[in-house]
Amino acid sequence: MNVVVSHWSASAAVLAAVAAVSAVHLRGLRGVADDARRGGDTPPGLGREVAAFYCGLFVVALALLSPIAYWSAHYIWVRSLQDVLLANVAPVFLVLGAPWLVLRRGLPLRWPRAHGPGRNPAPRPEPEPGRAARLARMSVLTVIAFNVAWCGWHLPALYDGALRYPVVYAAEVVSYLGLGVAFWLQLIGSRPLSPALAPLRRVALVAGTVIVSTVLGMVLVFGSGLAYPGYAGPGHRVLSVVYDQQTGGAVLWMLVLPAYVTVGVALLIRWLKDEEDQALASGLDRLLKPAKPAWPSRPGLR
């Protein structure tokens, strides 16, 4: 127990980044509270969003400052756990936290405001077909970029490079968090941003991501060769590097599934509800529309 508790990291860069983001967010919340006292509207669900956002920051700190960060340099399965926290768990909470307007409110810069203080912006008009197509392509490209980064950072050269060189490790962490947030923004709403794709198309993106993650996990779980020689050393006296590597593959394979399955099921339910509402509206239109006479009327007939 002493060994685990003693290996907490005190990374100045991580502490400074988390403290800076928290300070800007708290300043923004204070501004929102001031606007509410002046008669402005408080966004609905703000308390839940604040809790989710700080859960996301806590997960980032847990992955980079706790003993997980220390042992990730010694064991592949701990490194896999850290990867899941940074690329999947923390981004989900950050997106659910919808901090964008609050962070903008907390920045020392002054932004032009077209609406009254504390009021939600008016709904934007529906994008024209060309812009909607561009947004749809960007959504697909974002999901592809996330999956490329997820697999790319598990290539032996980059994986061991992040172990040896702090700059490579920092690039890995930033890309996991940045692309992870961008990825989840394509799947779930984050006020005032909305996904560009319909629910069923988002289900297809989730399914493709599950396939990619499954293939990566299976390659590591069923591989018998040494993929990451950077981890070979005296620390694996009890757990061999290959067995550690296979355990890490299982962590990558299994721990990402709950979030993907949850959002996939939610999107399917949303799609079925939309289809049912559309069918109901179509049926009501047919009922309310005046029926045409079965026989054509002739002039002079009464």
pLDDT tens for 112-170 read 554 444 444 555 555 566 788 888 899 999 999 999 999 999 999 999 999 999 999 99
Condensed to tens digits (0 to 9), the pLDDT of residues 36-84 reads 777 767 777 888 999 999 999 999 999 999 999 999 998 999 999 999 9
- Give CA–CA dist 90/259, Å, rounded: 11
Tell how many helices (H) and how many strands (E) occur in the chain. Answer: 13, 0
How many separate domains does the chain show?
Answer: 1
Residue 284: inside a domain, yes or no? Answer: no
DSSP 8-state symbol, 190: B
Residue 195: inside a domain, yes or no? Answer: yes
Confidence bin at 238 (pLDDT 50/70/90): low
Tokens 């994986």 found at: 159
Percent of the chain with pLDDT over 70: 79
CA 188 to chain centre: 8
Tokens 């989900």 found at: 92
**Backbone region of residue 45 per phi and psi (left: phi > 0; alpha: psi in -120 to 50; beta: other values):** left
255 has a pLDDT exceeding 80: yes
pTM score, whole prediction:
0.82
Residue 26: inside a domain, yes or no? Answer: yes
The 10 Å CB-count burial string (b at 16+, else e) for 172-211 is bbebbbebbbbbbbbbbebbeeebbbebebbbebbeebee
Residue 179: inside a domain, yes or no? Answer: yes
**Domain range enclosing 162:** 9-108+130-279
Share the mean pLDDT of the chain: 84
Residue 115: inside a domain, yes or no? Answer: no
Q: Which of 136, 27, 154 is nearest to 84 (CA)?
A: 154
CA 93 to chain centre: 7
Range name among 147-151, 234-238, 295-299 with the lowest pLDDT average: 295-299
Contact between 245 and 228 (Cβ < 8 Å):
yes
Contact between 48 and 91 (Cβ < 8 Å):
no
Residue 300: inside a domain, yes or no? Answer: no
Cis peptide preceding 290, ω within 30 of 0: no
Rg (CA), the chain: 25
Residue 295: inside a domain, yes or no? Answer: no
Residue 58: inside a domain, yes or no? Answer: yes
15 HSE (CA, 13 A, CB side): 7
**Backbone region of residue 158 per phi and psi (left: phi > 0; alpha: psi in -120 to 50; beta: other values):** alpha
Confidence bin at 33 (pLDDT 50/70/90): confident
- Give CA–CA dist 93/105, Å, rounded: 20
Contact between 52 and 188 (Cβ < 8 Å):
no
Better-predicted residue by pLDDT, 237 or 158: 158
Determine whether 44 is exposed, middle or buried from the number of CB atoms within 10 Å of its CB (0-12, 13-18, 19+). Answer: exposed
Condensed to tens digits (0 to 9), the pLDDT of residues 190-213 reads 988 889 999 999 999 999 999 999
